[in-house]
Chain A
Amino acid sequence: DAGVTQSPTHLIKTRGQQVTLRCSPKSGHDTVSWYQQALGQGPQFIFQYYEEEERQRGNFPDRFSGHQFPNYSSELNVNALLLGDSALYLCASSLTLLMNTEAFFGQGTRLTVV
């Protein structure tokens, strides 16, 4: 049973550029959430996708956008990168409509903006 997979694992971008991160959920899961983790901090919620729609959003600017595909995989896009966007980006998957909504995380994408 494949777990949550993210790509790429590492990425270096220049300030002002755009980046796309990808996530495939755990088999059988239909909901994908994205988190940003700055160095030394706990992960912060960015947004969640279910049924190809953004269902919840955290306190992040519109430069952060996403998409969910019919196969439940998801992308996170960040435009006009800032140095402060450097962080570990984590994807979590879960299954909605169940009492147990345990979330499982991928290995993350480490983004460095220079």
Chain B
Amino acid sequence: GIQVEQSPPDLILQEGANSTLRCNFSDSVNNLQWFHQNPWGQLINLFYIPSGTKQNGRLSATTVATERYSLLYISSSQTTDSGVYFCAVSNTGANSKLTFGKGITLSVRP
């Protein structure tokens, strides 16, 4: 099956700094999503981005499908951005299962 690798595994930032989180995948995809998992475990949707670029406030994402990677940018980080960020992809037909990476743990210090 498809493999998903996220890097770096851990990231520590000072409040106000910018960061880039990377997701590499091993095959073509028809769905790619970025999630933020809050301390209570819920996965919060950040972006649905199988290709192209999107922005939502301080967050933006780019997926280069032909080169099999996606980037999540966080600008002017805040302590509330802390948590685990997951990239998840699917590639086996419409509405098929999501395969998740191992996640990136972000800690933003005041």
Contact = CB atoms under 8 A, between A and B. Distances in A.
B31 A101 contact: yes
Size bracket of the B interface: 20 to 34
Contact of A102 (B40, B45, B86): B45
B97 A108 contact: no
Contacts of B97: 33, 45, 48, 56, 58
B95 A108 contact: no
Interface residues of A, number: 30
A101 B101 contact: no
Interface of B: 31, 33, 35, 40-43, 45, 48, 86, 88, 90, 94-103
29 contacts: A35-B98, A37-B41, A42-B100, A43-B43, A43-B86, A43-B98, A43-B100, A45-B98, A48-B95, A58-B97, A88-B41, A90-B41, A95-B95, A96-B94, A96-B95, A97-B94, A100-B48, A101-B95, A102-B33, A102-B48, A103-B31, A103-B33, A103-B88, A104-B45, A105-B35, A105-B45, A107-B40, A108-B40, A110-B41
